[in-house]
Structure 1
Amino acid sequence: MNHRQTLEFLLYDWLQAESLSARSRFAEHTRATFDAVLDTCERIAREKYAPFNRLVDTEEPRFDGEKVILPQATHEAYRAYAESGMLSAAQDYDIGGMQLPYTVEAAANSFFALASISINPALLTVGNANLLMAHGSPLQQKVFAHNEFSGRFSGTMCLSEPQAGSSLSDIATRAVPDAQDDASWEQDPLGPRYRLTGHKMWISAGEHELSENIIHLVLAKIPGPDGKLVPGTKGISLFIVPKKLVDTEGRLTGERNDVALAGLNHKLGWRGTSNTLLNFGEGKYPVAGRAGAIGYRVGEPGRGLSYMFHMMNEARIAIGMAATMLGLAGYYASLDYAKNRPQGRPVGEGGKDAAKPPVRIIEHADVRRMLLAQKAYGEGALALNLLCARLVDERYTGTPESAEEARLLLEVLTPIAKSWPSENCLEANSLAIQVHGGYGYTRDFPVEQYWRDNRLNMIHEGTHGIQAMDLLGRKVLMEGGRGLTLLAERMRASAARAQAEPALREPAQALTLALAQIGQATQEAWATGQPSEALANAVPYLQAFGHTVLAWVWLDVALATLRADATLSKAQSVGRMGAMQYFYHYELPKIGAWLQVVRQRDMTCANLPEEAF
């Protein structure tokens, strides 16, 4: 079964993406146009991305003192992607977009992640532009976002600093009004104009020559009325800081902004993407004879972090999809290897007969276990990410009631959509190496690179610990638990439908039990009302919650498989049902151990004295 078949089943048979054409925003689309987008992206990924995956891993970005050098293949991939229109796929027709459902956009983009996640020339551009479309002024949208959607400009997000990674309240980058005269700074057409000074770390695609300009979205603190920086997150505002200054028509003025590359980070994976340390306002490129990077404030002062969450949540789902596709890439590679690699003899009556020829390793039970685990992780994660994309479409084009439900479900599912694939599809990559045996950790085969690339995703856009505290500390409690209650209702509805199918009664009962365990653990974690006790085991809670969500997704996919059975090949149907059974038999039972420490509010880890480590 190939990736296209899996995508089409999930899009059309499970998520009913064709029905979106009945909505006014998508009225000009049909399945034919959706398929045409998939065809285009599959072709570009095959021609411009896949052949160069190893090249961009070995020819890392380098700085020649003036500019960052990337392989020509990356430039060609960026150009092809921009020309395809995928940067503006979901945008309005009147700004050059396709008004494509996000569900289809996410599915189409999966081909690029599968072919080479490391090339990834438009990594954060769309999220950057979408944030400006939501919170920027009309002119900021026209000058910056629209040019990002066309591919003329690219974008970044600048949050972390060398001394403050995930602790954004501790950032030290500051922005002060560019008040050379007392009136102009606040009346600049592009937004209130500030001078920024500080350092930002781990900035993906922070310096390159792929586009005419790079638009940095930068979090910085501004002075309060007393002239002092406001402590904590309340003092954080958001600024547009272009690499090259532009006029109100988006034309380059010819002047470089005071943003300088301080260094390139050389990472375990994603080596084809430049990852940078940027200095803002150090005076290397003084503007109007003065140090300080010019930045235009987005929206209201002090609301920078809330604005940035618009982009961060998009990025979290995108990282989940990246992790998913790396897991599937490893699965496809190890499946091909297992079908063609002869080694060993089958275990049977009379023991092994050395006189007989060796069998292909896919005939060994443990190799099949490893392959089925990869399939269950990868295809289940793909279903989860496409489900989240479908909820995005519902949030923006559904009825008021369905849109509100989609909002609540996305709040609860986003930590899972990011964290579950990044942990379990990494495990899939580890299993892909194991299937290859000793060859798996050589560069003769691609699976070692897939593992290295995927290892970054457990940290990208918020570590497991951060996602876990977000889930147990905020998302399941928010608005009186409305999101958790709604998700539980959806799960119970799937289980009720599955009870009517003889082949699904056992997993339906298992899901119902797992859901009850999650509910009980949530209550007992917070029984004392002490965050230190409740959150001490937030990660095991996240793991159990994620496995329960994936069990629900697999059960719902199994229901769709039974509905579409007559139109599917036997291999598709049996394979999908087998992956569902694997998940319920081998994976879902793990939640008992994870939830035990949550229910007991076990403080073993939290209370162990430092000197005991």
Structure 2
Amino acid sequence: MSDYKAPLRDIEFALYELLGYEKHLGTLPCAEDATRELVDAILEEGAKFCEKVISPLNRVGDEQGCTLVDGVVTTPDGFKEAYQQFVDGGWPSMCHALEHGGQGLPESLGTVLNELTGSANWSWSMYPGLAHGAMKTLELHGTDEQKQQYLTKLVEGAWTGTMCLTEAHCGTDLGMLKTKAEPNEDGSYSITGSKMFISAGEHDLAENIVHIVLARLPDAPEGTKGISLFVVPKFLANDHGGVGERNQVVCGSLEHKMGIHGNATCVMNFDGAKGFLIGPPNRGLNCMFTFMNTARLGTAIQGLAHAELGYQKSLAYARDRLQMRALSGAKNPSGPADPIIVHPDVRRMLLTQKAFAEGARMLIYYAAQLIDTEQFSQGEEQLAAGELLALLTPIAKAFVTETGFESANLAIQCFGGHGYIREWGVEQNVRDARISMLYEGTTGIQALDLLGRKVLSSQGELLKRFTKIIHKYCQAHAQTEEMQEFVEPLATLNKEWGELTLHVGMAALNDPEEVGAAAVDYLMYSGYVTLAYFWARAAEVALTANTKDDQDFYTGKLKTAQFYYARILPRTRTLKETIKSGAKNLLSMEECQF
């Protein structure tokens, strides 16, 4: 079984050569001291931690899972010790403000670290990952007192955090939630209700857990406009800022899941638990979107992580596994058979994984830089970054998790029957990957967000932000002969993207169901075109690289780009037809005819 190896060379390519990370850091006031040498040192140390500490625990977490006894959750062997090592290394504080004990480094650098931890051990990485979202929510919407009381402990990693949205009767439709918040005389609130699917809701890694909870005030209007946001700690803070009295929030049960067994997914019961309002009353969903958008991009990283891990494992296996002879003649004449990497169909599966993993990395790192720009710029630059991020977030979350799952499945296929056996780790990778298309909004929900809220509701303006970038890129390389195999089809699809958007928008004027009927296919079409843009840029870098020492690396990038355009991008042809087929073929059949 191959172990995870941090793909630092591919990361350097995406960060520095494709996206100009050194120049980007120079624009950020928080990164004045963040030289390339510092960034590289951070990534090298992060890689060591992931490879040597948490990657070996990945299978342990899957086989042992978490246990619940009398409301106390115990994580798998080694998880607690690994988390303490993570805290001792200062990793939780990396991308948080100096005034709260953070190191003040940009979010984009944290995104790279999240890829490393997620690929090494997704179940473990969720514990600090969810705490990061809780911190961002409190940083943006919490009072000064709340920041002082909770952020310092969260930033240092002594406490972790969760997001408590879902209830048994409502998943995405949060307007139906029933958890109540009754005001107390001391200005706090009494929170009563039950939440489910709460990742890292209870565990033994940290001394306290800070829950970010959606609930309704007594006079709240119905629907999503009547939701408020509260911070509800497992232990109330004492006068010295440490752990005090136990709050009335307990883990009622652990979910029995298909995958990510090492992370505790809990039913959390709030029985008059003391909570504190975050932000304005009845504006909780607006505040919670800070957490949700952080989590959605984090879930996109999960898609990348499972694609990368599956690719690494199946590539190593394909190089070693001997099976049959190449049809063009023996490639390993001294052995009984050829390694399966010589066979075209195995190459197809490996290249698909490689194209999706490396393409996803480019997209996610690009989005992470937009987060930095939106946070630290002003005016038109800030607006442009925010609108691009709004458009790309649902694409990243849904498309990358869909293709990540496809890649994880292809890894099993590369192993043949051995892929179905637990010891190789690729069947776990598939099980762990499957949740990524469900939580933080299913693919269908992300697709409605993209097509309905982001594209059509803005009359296409958000889409134009990105298609103009692609258009200018294609124009700039219109006369570059070696780039024609990329920019010509990209320019055609970029134009067609706008035409399909107009087609759906016009059809929706007569029947609003046309939006829902087209949404998922539209999102996947958008994802394939988006990755085509990044693969065109990758090909350009590879073609213009001057180094001879890394020629195989750059040639591999160029050939992967060619594979993507020849073998994967044509999927847009089918999606175009299904989008234009309309809603009638979905809705004409009566329920009794199913």
Structure 2 stretches of 5 or more lacking a match?
none
Aligned residue number for residue 533 of structure 2? 552
Give the share of equivalent positions with the same residue, in percent: 35
**Structure-2 change in CA distance of 1:355 and 1:25 (3 Å):** closer
Q: Contact (CA 8 Å) 1:20, 1:26: kept in 2 or not?
A: no
| C-alpha distance in structure 2 between counterparts of 1:35 and 1:71, whole Å | 31
Does 2:13 correspond to 1:9? yes
For 1:257, the aligned partner's letter is N
Structure 1 stretches of 5 or more lacking a match?
186-192, 282-291
- Could you say what secondary structure the match of 1:444 adopts? helix
Q: Contact (CA 8 Å) 1:498, 1:559: kept in 2 or not?
A: no
Aligned residue number for residue 215 of structure 1? 210
- CA drift of 1:558 comes to 1.8
| C-alpha distance in structure 2 between counterparts of 1:602 and 1:164, whole Å | 26
- Picking from 279, 284, 290, the partner of 1:310 is 290
Aligned residue number for residue 536 of structure 1? 517
TM-score in terms of structure 2 length: 0.95
Aligned residue number for residue 258 of structure 1? 248
- CA drift of 1:563 comes to 3.3
- Picking from 583, 591, 595, the partner of 2:564 is 583
Q: Contact (CA 8 Å) 1:90, 1:105: kept in 2 or not?
A: yes
**Structure-2 change in CA distance of 1:249 and 1:410 (3 Å):** farther
- Picking from 4, 10, 22, the partner of 1:18 is 22
- CA drift of 1:336 comes to 0.4
- Picking from 152, 162, 174, the partner of 1:146 is 152
**Structure-2 change in CA distance of 1:437 and 1:565 (3 Å):** farther
Aligned residue number for residue 562 of structure 1? 543
Aligned residue number for residue 190 of structure 1? none
For 2:287, the aligned partner's letter is Y
**Structure-2 change in CA distance of 1:71 and 1:600 (3 Å):** closer
**Structure-2 change in CA distance of 1:2 and 1:204 (3 Å):** closer
**Structure-2 change in CA distance of 1:567 and 1:28 (3 Å):** farther
- Could you say what secondary structure the match of 2:521 adopts? helix
Does 2:351 correspond to 1:346? no
Pairing of 1:294-443 with structure 2 (within 5 A): 294-348=274-328, 357-398=336-377, 400-443=379-422
Aligned residue number for residue 449 of structure 1? 428
Q: How big is the alpha-carbon RMSD for the aligned residues of Structure 1 and Structure 2? A: 1.9
| C-alpha distance in structure 2 between counterparts of 1:443 and 1:19, whole Å | 45
Q: Contact (CA 8 Å) 2:182, 2:189: kept in 1 or not?
A: yes
Q: Contact (CA 8 Å) 2:71, 2:251: kept in 1 or not?
A: no
Pairing of 1:287-298 with structure 2 (within 5 A): 292-298=272-278
Q: Contact (CA 8 Å) 1:394, 1:402: kept in 2 or not?
A: yes
Q: Contact (CA 8 Å) 2:47, 2:116: kept in 1 or not?
A: yes
Aligned residue number for residue 42 of structure 1? 47
| C-alpha distance in structure 2 between counterparts of 1:18 and 1:355, whole Å | 48
- Picking from 105, 114, 118, the partner of 1:109 is 114
- Picking from 183, 199, 221, the partner of 1:204 is 199
Q: Deviations over 1:404-435 (max 9, x none)?
A: 11101000000011011110011111111011
Aligned residue number for residue 232 of structure 1? 223
Aligned residue number for residue 461 of structure 1? 440
Pairing of 1:497-512 with structure 2 (within 5 A): 497-512=476-491
Aligned residue number for residue 235 of structure 2? 244
Q: Contact (CA 8 Å) 1:129, 1:146: kept in 2 or not?
A: no
- Picking from 101, 108, 113, the partner of 1:96 is 101
For 1:608, the aligned partner's letter is M
- Could you say what secondary structure the match of 1:272 adopts? coil
Q: Contact (CA 8 Å) 2:154, 2:161: kept in 1 or not?
A: yes
| C-alpha distance in structure 2 between counterparts of 1:321 and 1:92, whole Å | 23
- CA drift of 1:98 comes to 1.9
**Structure-2 change in CA distance of 1:276 and 1:2 (3 Å):** closer
Q: Deviations over 1:18-59 (max 9, x none)?
A: 123423321112111101110111111122101111111001
- Could you say what secondary structure the match of 1:461 adopts? coil
- CA drift of 1:495 comes to 1.7
| C-alpha distance in structure 1 between counterparts of 2:106 and 2:192, whole Å | 40
Aligned length: 586
**Structure-2 change in CA distance of 1:2 and 1:131 (3 Å):** closer
Does 2:270 correspond to 1:274? no
| C-alpha distance in structure 2 between counterparts of 1:171 and 1:270, whole Å | 26
- Could you say what secondary structure the match of 1:416 adopts? helix
Stretch of structure 1 that moved more, 600-609 or 317-326: 600-609
| C-alpha distance in structure 2 between counterparts of 1:12 and 1:478, whole Å | 35
Q: Contact (CA 8 Å) 2:542, 2:555: kept in 1 or not?
A: no
- Could you say what secondary structure the match of 2:267 adopts? strand
For 1:422, the aligned partner's letter is T
Aligned residue number for residue 165 of structure 1? 171
| C-alpha distance in structure 1 between counterparts of 2:268 and 2:99, whole Å | 35
| C-alpha distance in structure 2 between counterparts of 1:481 and 1:567, whole Å | 44
Does 2:522 correspond to 1:517? no
TM-score in terms of structure 1 length: 0.92
- CA drift of 1:147 comes to 1.2
Q: Contact (CA 8 Å) 2:60, 2:77: kept in 1 or not?
A: no
Aligned residue number for residue 495 of structure 1? 474
Q: Contact (CA 8 Å) 1:173, 1:198: kept in 2 or not?
A: yes
- CA drift of 1:92 comes to 2.4
Q: Deviations over 1:168-198 (max 9, x none)?
A: 011111111123xxxx32xxxxxxx111111
**Structure-2 change in CA distance of 1:167 and 1:568 (3 Å):** farther
| C-alpha distance in structure 2 between counterparts of 1:81 and 1:567, whole Å | 38
- CA drift of 1:108 comes to 2.3
Q: Contact (CA 8 Å) 1:129, 1:148: kept in 2 or not?
A: yes
